[in-house]
Amino acid sequence: MSTVVMTGGTSGFGAVAAGRVRGSDDVRLILGARGPVSTGRSIPLDLAQLDSVRAFAAAVREETGDDPIDALVLNAGLIRPDVADRTVDGFETTFAVNHLAHYLLLRLLLPGLADGATVVLTTSGTHDPATKAGLAPPRHADADLLAHPDRDPDGETRARKAGQQAYTASKLCAVLTARALSERENTPSRRLTALAYCPGQVFGTGLAENLPFPLPVVWSLLGTPFLSRPLSRLSPTLNTAPSAGNTLSDLTLGLVTPPAGRTYAALRRGRLTWPDPSDLARSAELAHKLWADSARLVGLPD
């Protein structure tokens, strides 16, 4: 029996992936979820509270005992209309939920990963200015300034753009974290696979729910099967939730072998591609600095 631990499996394309993983032979899926889930096993997890992440990791260790974890899927995420909100730990919410909490979870579960395990972090092509995705691209991946945007001397003053930048920067952090993990000392000897996965643009999920009206309504409408299928033919970055979710489950179950040295996977026209990520995301120095700074913010050694 193999064990998969996943965040963000309750809604959107993550729910599609979770359903497929759960239905696979000989796989135990442990979901971290804020609320009750209708099918399968879940353990309470609120990524907006680092203590909840610590409690979740402890509960997972208790449940798995001596069984190693074969795949860790860090898919949960949100986007907010601005950067005004702070978590109970005092960090900007988008950065804290999308990056910092997942970083802590990864660090806490890392010793319990099986040799040959897969770690997937869901990112977004919006981390890369070259994709011209329509959201303000990140200016940096400085963990301290992302955690406390009010301390950023060059911070974006327009609330909406600042919210977009917090999101795209958190997704840059996902790409950098996959890279840093892949370059950790014992990753090759443990044969760990670290991947940042961009599902493309997937309408109809819950992602727009915190954005101002009418965006959530438009997002939902564009995600109906009637519109999403024809739309996905118009642009290579548009994918349906089933396509994005099935690909995430393929990565989770080890059904895809990444090309050597690649840690960024992007779904384009329903097919998995392995492009270079953004210029910032290709910086080894930035990846290792983010790893170390994130460790300090969550109270762990590097």
Cα separation, 195 vs 240, in Å, equals 21
Q: Minimal distance in Å, beta carbon 28 to ligand NAP?
A: 19
CB of 164 to ligand NAP, least distance (A): 12
Instruction: Decide whether 38 or 189 has the Cβ nearer to ligand NAP.
Output: 38
Smallest distance from ligand NAP to CB 132, Å: 15
Q: Which is nearer to ligand NAP, 190 or 210 (CB)?
A: 210
Beta carbon of residue 77, minimum distance to ligand NAP (angstroms, whole number): 2
Measured from each CB, the residue nearest to ligand NAP is 12
* Cβ closest to ligand NAP, residue 37 vs residue 114: 37
Cα–Cα distance, 83 to 103 (Å, whole number): 20
What is the nearest approach in angstroms of ligand NAP to the Cβ of residue 14?
Answer: 5
Residue number, 112 or 125, with CB nearest to ligand NAP:
125
Pair 186, 110: CB distance under 8 Å: no
Pair of tokens at residue 174: 């996902």
Nearer to ligand NAP, 69 or 73 (CB): 73
Say what angle helices 12-22 and 241-252 make with each other, to 10 degrees: 50
In angstroms, rounded to a whole number, what is the distance separating the alpha carbons of residues 292 and 51?
20
Distances (CA, A) of 112 to 64, 70, 106, 295: 9, 9, 10, 18
- Least distance from ligand NAP to the Cβ atom of residue 52, Å: 8
CA 298/CA 38 separation, integer angstroms: 32
Rounded CA separation 253/1 (Å): 12
**Which residue, 173 or 287, is less far from ligand NAP as judged by CB?**
173
State the residues that interact with ligand NAP by CB under 6 A. Answer: 7-8, 10-14, 33-35, 45-48, 75-78, 97, 122, 124, 198-199, 201-202, 205-207
Name residue 272's beta-bridge partners: 267
- CA–CA distance, 137 with 166 (Å, rounded to integer): 9
SS3 for 120? strand
- Provide, rounded to whole angstroms, the least separation between the CB of residue 188 and ligand NAP: 27
- Tell me how far apart the alpha carbons of residues 160 and 79 are, in angstroms, rounded to a whole number: 11
Given the complex with ligand NAP, which of 34 and 139 has the nearer CB atom? 34
Nearer to ligand NAP, 11 or 283 (CB): 11
Looking at the chain, which runs of residues are DSSP E strands?
2-7, 27-33, 41-44, 69-74, 113-122, 193-198, 264-268, 271-273
Provide, rounded to whole angstroms, the least separation between the CB of residue 66 and ligand NAP. Answer: 27
